[in-house]
Chain A
Amino acid sequence: MIEFFAKYFPNVVYQGWTGDGGWLPAIGETIYMTFWSALFGGILGLIFGIGLVLTDSNGILSNRTAFNFFDKIVSFFRAIPFIILLAFIAPVTQKIVGTQIGTTAALVPLSLGVFPFYARQVQVALESVDRGIVEAAQSLGATYTDIIFEVYLKESRSELVRVTTVTLISLIGLTAMAGAIGAGGLGNMAIAYGYNRFATDTTMVATLLVLIFVLLVQVTGDFLARILNHRKK
């Protein structure tokens, strides 16, 4: 087995499991970046998505100024290509993390890069909740908190899982670019150790691992979306 790999994937074996440039750290970095930026970006995206729906002209807290605030910020960050955002946001990253490079530093641009995308997706998911159900809740004397959690979030939970899956997958794509600021990960492995060194086998294996990662997210997401859905198909 090892001989087989050594013969056909010499560069993959050369990278080794551990140590600098090893496969395990690369996988770990990708998971690390995806997890934390999904968490920070996700919370931010949820807040903005909910904000957009509530303050919209037919929302329960309709407020033009607040809506414009959410809307403009989301549009602004969505408009910046991620690779430029990495550089553009560097001074802020320096302030927050203390350094501009490395895996942890990448969390700042990653979170900011993914949140506007997620916010729009959350907005669409929440808007799929029938306005009549919100009205019924209001007629029952429900509070704003009830309406946000029990009506908007709970009613759209299956849709939310679906858009979260889509967002996570695009986030994995973004982490590959974070290699540009020395964040490591599988994307960096594919480019820095694979492509730049003409080690096609390394690029292939790194790609394959990203693919497996994406597939896992997709399958889990689809499964959850299905079991959480009690609405009419």
Chain B
Amino acid sequence: MAENIIELDNIDVTFQQKKRKIEAVKDVSLHVEKGDIYGVVGYSGAGKSTLVRVVNLLQKPSAGRVKVNGDVFYENLNGKETVIDSKKLREKRRKIGMIFQRFNLLNEQTAVENVEFALKHSNLKEKEITEKALKLLELVGLSERAKSYPAQLSGGEQQRVAIARALANDPEILISDEATSALDPKNTIQILDLLKDLNARLGVTIILITHEMDAVKRVANRVAVMEQGQIIEKGTLHEIFTQPKQQLTKEFVGGSLEAIATLKTYHLAKLQENEKIMQLIFTGATISEPITIKLYRDFNVEANIIYSNIEVLGATPVGTLFVIIKGIEKDRQAAIAFLKEKGIVVHQIGEEELSND
């Protein structure tokens, strides 16, 4: 097991607004392993941004423990608060890059100056700083726009400058706070692929906050789902996608909910005796097997496909199939056992879930 680079334990964040206490984050624990791309999803207001701001103490928590790369930034487990010294925190922050929804570039400085700003406190000489800044712009594919001001760049280009700036001090962690939410679909994909590439090439650990499940599906390997200041579900991307437990998670991953919504628009004939609706989820290798034929031949079970869909998680294709299977109870059970043995996830869908009224 790889080591944890970020450990958030029992984090509470409470805001005092006039007389009202607002609990933005409630008792959240999140461990991120080195090299992970950890997606944190949830609707706006769920507390995602507040939670990740705790990592570099842009947001000071009210309780819990923040440990990054072995250093305890904050600890308050039994009422005694210890916070890292501010000079040390500034040095540590340089090792945690952060990119934002609205880019937050310095508008009165050019692209290359923006990157140089991040290197101001490095030990490099002025000339080396410029060289490194230009190299970083090249890394994000923007060397030609080095002398441009942010206002002259497109959204996607501005986010690239922001990424170059965030990477300036060779951070081990990169926090992306809704970094693609203000971009069009094409730029979103390019930025996500760039993040994935940086993760692979530089080994930088990434926390990806987003309300778009597609972004997470594309790049993350682990996912946490947040609602009302709490993490309601977490796991590998594959687990979250194929076996979502919470209603909200199901909404986010789409998949079965989408399928059910689609199926609802059809008037399915009433199921016969010995008929059941099943949802089958295939991953990777199993996807190419002729399952329906096998079911019929080996188990005497008919499978009638009523909906199918393939999505790509990370690099693995995942297929979802809704079938009506017909056969006697004993045969159906044997068929399901066979499917499970093959590594196919099988859910039985109640008829009422698909009824239109």
Q: Using CB atoms and an 8 Å cutoff, list the residues of chain A in contact with chain B.
A: 130, 132-133, 135-143, 146, 150-151, 154-155, 157-158, 228, 230-232
Interface: B58 (CB within 8 A): yes
Bitwise interface map of B from 90 to 128 toward A, beta carbon under 8 Å scored 1, else 0: 111110111010101111110000000110110000000
CA distance A232 to B149 in the complex (A): 10
Known: A141-B94, A230-B149, A230-B151. A155 touches B58 (CB 8 A): no
Known: A140-B93, A143-B90, A143-B121. A135 touches B104 (CB 8 A): yes
**B contact residues, total (Cβ < 8 Å):** 31
- B58 & A139 in contact (Cβ 8 Å cutoff): yes
A139: which B residues are within 8 A, CB to CB?
Answer: 56, 58, 93, 96-98, 166, 175
Output the least CB separation between B242 and chain A (Å).
Answer: 35
- A140 & B94 in contact (Cβ 8 Å cutoff): yes
Contact of B108 among A137, A138, A231 (CB under 8 A): A231
Interface: B165 (CB within 8 A): yes
CA distance A150 to B116 in the complex (A): 12
B120, closest chain A residue (CB): A146
Output the least CB separation between B328 and chain A (Å).
Answer: 63
Contact of B58 among A138, A151, A157, A232 (CB under 8 A): A138
Contact of B102 among A130, A140, A151 (CB under 8 A): A130
- A132 & B104 in contact (Cβ 8 Å cutoff): yes
- B90 & A133 in contact (Cβ 8 Å cutoff): no
CA distance A232 to B102 in the complex (A): 14
Output the least CB separation between B169 and chain A (Å).
Answer: 7
A157: which B residues are within 8 A, CB to CB?
Answer: 108
Q: Which among A138, A151, A155, A228 has the highest number of chain B CB atoms within 10 Å?
A: A138
- B107 & A231 in contact (Cβ 8 Å cutoff): yes
A133: which B residues are within 8 A, CB to CB?
Answer: 104-107
Q: Which among A132, A135, A138, A140 has the highest number of chain B CB atoms within 10 Å?
A: A140
B168, closest chain A residue (CB): A140
For the complex of A and B, list the 7 residue pairs with the smallest distance between their C-beta atoms, beginning with the closest: A136-B104, A141-B94, A139-B98, A141-B93, A230-B149, A141-B90, A132-B104
A142: which B residues are within 8 A, CB to CB?
Answer: 90, 117, 120
B92: which A residues are within 8 A, CB to CB?
Answer: 141
Bitwise interface map of B from 151 to 177 toward A, beta carbon under 8 Å scored 1, else 0: 100000000001001101100000100
- A140 & B165 in contact (Cβ 8 Å cutoff): yes
Contact of B107 among A140, A143, A230 (CB under 8 A): A230
Given contacts A132-B100, A135-B104, A139-B96, 17 further A-B contacts (CB under 8 A): A132-B104, A135-B100, A136-B104, A136-B162, A136-B165, A137-B106, A139-B56, A139-B175, A140-B93, A140-B118, A140-B168, A141-B121, A154-B106, A228-B108, A230-B150, A231-B108, A232-B151
B109: which A residues are within 8 A, CB to CB?
Answer: 150, 154
B151: which A residues are within 8 A, CB to CB?
Answer: 230-232
Q: Which among A139, A146, A151, A154 has the highest number of chain B CB atoms within 10 Å?
A: A139
- B117 & A140 in contact (Cβ 8 Å cutoff): yes
